[in-house]
Amino acid sequence: MVSYERLNPEEVQFSSAALLDPPPDDSGDAEAKAEDLERPLLDQTPQCTVTVALLTLGGLIVVVFGVWLLGTVFWLRGPPSMETHKPPPPVAPSGQNKGWQGGPQPESCSLIPEAWRFDCYPERSVVVTEEMCHQRNCCFIQVSKAGSPEQNGVPWCFYPPDFPSYELAAISKTETGYSGKLIRLQKTYYPNDIETLQLDVLYESNSRLRVKVTDPAKQRYEVPIDVPVVKEKAPDPLYTVEFSKKPFGMVVKRKQNSAVLLNTTVAPLFYADQFLQMSSSLPSDFVYGLGEHRSNFLHDVQWNTLTMWARDAAPVELTNLYGVHPFYLLMEPNGLAHGSFLLNSNAMDVVLQPAPALTWRTIGGILDLYIFLGPDPGSVIGEYLEVVGKPAMPPYWALGYHLCRWGYDSSNNTWDVVRAMRNYGIPQDVQWNDIDYMDRALDFTIDPVKFSTLPDLVKDLHIHNQRYVMILDPGISSTQPAGSYLPFEEGIKQGIFINKSSGDTLIGKVWPGLTAFPDFSNPDTHEWWYQNLKKFHDKVPFDGLWIDMNEPSNFFDGSIDGCPSNDLENPPYTPGVLGGSLRAKTVCASARQKITSHYNLHNLFGLMEAKASASALKKILGKRPFVISRSTFPSQGVHSGHWLGDNRSKWKDLYMSIPGMLTFNLLGIPLVGADICGFSDTTTEELCVRWTQLGAFYPFTRNHNTKESKAQDPTVFSPAAQTAMKEALLLRYSLFPFLYTLFHHAHLSGQTVARPLFFEFPTDQKTYVIDKQFLWGKSLLVTPVLDPGVDYVVGYLPQGLWYDFYTGDSIVSKGEEVKLRAPLDKINVHLREGSIIPTQRPNTTLWVSSGQPLRLIVCLTEEGLAEGDLFWDDGEALDTYETDQYAYITFRLKESTMTSEVVHSHLEASYITVETVSFYGVKSTPTSVTVNSQEAAFNYAANQVLTVSDLGLNLNQNFVISWT
């Protein structure tokens, strides 16, 4: 039986002037009153005689213990509460914990409810015995003999209430908050405890609190990404912070309702050289984020351990996957939301338990914890992205349909597929190639025989306003004859590869055989990468990059020579990584990079490669870069998008793509999607049709599969299937103006593109578990078919008025499930009341579509209101918003009058006209319609849809449409 896993101290947060020495007087000034809101957990007491003190203390202990015991009994017997969960820890005995090896353990152990037991023995594959547990001075209660050591559950070995932790020895004011000193007087069972810590509590904004716990005596590794530097304390924070001095703990509350968002007093704090752990209670079970893992969108808090260590592994449950994102969003019981982010790139476990509570447990770096107060979920994501960076604006063509296959085998075969797509009139903007285009899988080469016509193919794509993307893996072949492969030879001369701890180049194995791995933490590597890309672009003028295998993946464990035996390779604690060791199918943890060891930088490899790739493309193309990366880390969206990896052609994988897509939108990487129809195995026609319909609503839409499977591009299926896929893709292309505007808002303010329903309906708890439907923005609801052999789908419509996208038929929902018709050629799409959706006449490429006339769909509320907007630019120039090279138009409907206002004009908008406006939900037949005060023809249907056509209105000029 494996004990449960705990988190690290990096989440600690602090703030309370009441802990300052001397304590503030009761002068009544404004600052003192504000600080009084942040009273400490343990108040200071006046001096007294020894006798009085002992009597008082003894009496208090008896009374408090009795009250606690009665309260615990009633708590255990009573019904669950919707209020904020608060742990019922027993009162700690005075003095240090001496342990009880071989003797009876304290009665307080049995009083700790199972849900509140924090694991004292988290090591994997260990059957914890009572003797082993007591050697750690922890409680031992064997819960069940069932299960295996690989399963998580109630820990048998858990911390007693008096387990030694840090004490808050001093705290003082700073310009940004508070600075404190933490001391540990008793060592723990992990080596190299850091006995004195510095605590910095930073009130960075009214809705953002940052807590850093560092070693004041020694500089420790910190994640090298840019985050805001704040020089003064937030004037009116939404939070208060309270402290416990002994043992040290912190409680963060929301001022609005006193909800406890963080409470680190529930378990001891650890801060050893290679083991940092901090736990906190949670105010609810509704936890999201914590990527990258294959799971439902809503995480399970029933003893669920999420391991973070970038790994090349096909997506399966309970496994560390390609990316690492220690950020969660939590929905509170009253519909408010907050988030927490641990800025740490070392291997870690994040443990959820049913208290509910969460534990951060990492094996390096520092504890650098942010809390974001929201108070709504969208605001939480925006606040998180203020720290790690907002996503880049993609080029317009990135939002089209992408087609790829590992196994085209030649450029001519690839070209044949492109021609077939054109012949069938199926939209396609981008053609890709996997590694089979390379000469012997060598980066920056093309197969001189099978892909000799690749430059001609790319030229043909460009003539047809299409784009070309190729794959690059980071492994650089190290075994080519001297003088025949410059990328490796120049890399050796420039010293840009990852080295072994001995200083020699580390050699692993990937597709081309024995390889070296570029060190993207080295600025010289970025220049080397750019130069090689530029030389290749001169031969094959590609438009974007697909960077794969960048965890980095290695067919060896560590290197061709293995790895040395040291603390980095064999840390005192190893998180639950696939393979059981940090070197499993990657490079040695002890490998040396420019700024620190791979032990610290492993999870940043994909981010650093994406940054180098995006920078190179900007210089080569002079346009917005397009990069799709497999491995990701916080701030990835600034440089690249992501696809969800090597999925399978299974119905379950079709469904699991929605939680993955939604999670990465929370993580600031909105340009995300799964391989449509599945990467491995062979799809069926029905599955591929349904997947193409869903994939048409991925922010990033690509069909891709492996050479072991049959081809699955739309042209290989029956005419009926082709038609259904074509219609789904044309639907996507018609929605391009709306989707493009959503990406603008993501880039500008950190909004999500695809989002869960609870973002828009946070007080409707039925939406908290929904991950088979999703929204684009706040107003377009997608309800895909995710099961075989059905012609209907059951979807949830939150309370309000909804319109069928295709017909304008209305549905008034009380917040209920609705059975919807869904024949094989249809995906259900509904529009929310109060929205105005810009659409466009679609074509087979977005270059052609983006010049077509617009149709506005106006969805009236019961009160006859609606609003929407449109962002427009040239689609590919760098920084168009930042340089004012864009148009922005708002649309508003009130009292039967719709106005279009050009908030920011640009020449690009003058090329577009508004051809049609459809008003959904007009309750009575109009007698007349005017456009800019001129009478206009119109059509009014029985389902209350008013349509005004043949308008020819210039998008770059204000206009008014009204009816009576």
Annotated catalytic sites, by residue? 548, 551
Give the Cα separation of 69 and 88 in Å (integer). 9
- Measured from the Cβ of residue 482, the count of other Cβ atoms closer than 10 Å reads 6
Are 576 and 321 a contacting pair, CB within 8 Å?
no
Are 278 and 10 a contacting pair, CB within 8 Å?
yes
Half-sphere exposure of 157 (CA within 13 A, CB side): 22
- Measured from the Cβ of residue 593, the count of other Cβ atoms closer than 10 Å reads 25
Give the Cα separation of 266 and 281 in Å (integer). 7
Q: Which amino acid is residue 84, in one-letter code? A: T
What token pair was written down for 22?
A: 């001397």
What token pair was written down for 376?
A: 């709504």
Give the Cα separation of 284 and 354 in Å (integer). 9
Tokens 């090896």 correspond to 101
Considering only CA atoms, which of 682, 717, 109, 734 is closest in space to residue 421? 717
| β-bridge mates for residue 890, sequence order | 869, 901
CB contact set of 73 (below 8 Å; sequence gap of 6+): none
Q: Which amino acid is residue 415, in one-letter code? A: W
∠585-588-590 over CA atoms, to 5°?
A: 155
Exposed e or buried b for every residue in 305-339, given b needs 16+ CB within 10 A? Answer: bbbbbbbbbebeebbbbbbbbbbbbbbbbbbbbbb
R_g over Cα of the chain: 30
Give the Cα separation of 405 and 469 in Å (integer). 12
DSSP 68: H
DSSP 758: G
423 in helix, strand or coil? helix
Q: Which amino acid is residue 72, in one-letter code? A: T
- Interhelix angle 719-734/736-749, rounded to 10 degrees, is 50
Annotate 675-731 with three-state secondary structure. Answer: EECCCECCCCHHHHHHHHHHHCCCCCEEECCCCCCCCCCHHHCCHHHHHHHHHHHHH
What is the strand order of the sheet 934-936 is part of?
A: 866-872, 887-894, 897-904, 959-963, 929-931, 934-936
Are 810 and 840 a contacting pair, CB within 8 Å?
no
Pairing mode of beta strands 467-472, 544-547 = parallel
Strand boundaries in 435-533, DSSP class E: 467-472, 476-477, 508-510, 513-516
∠507-509-513 over CA atoms, to 5°?
A: 110
For residue 22, cis peptide bond before it (omega within 30 degrees of 0): yes
Give the burial class of 513: count Cβ atoms within 10 A of its Cβ; 0-12 exposed, 13-18 middle, 19 or more buried.
middle
Q: How far is CA 452 from CA 412, 415, 438, 706, 887, in A?
A: 9, 12, 11, 22, 43
Give the Cα separation of 299 and 291 in Å (integer). 11
The torsion angle over the Cα atoms of residues 131, 137, 139 and 142, rounded to 10 degrees, is -20
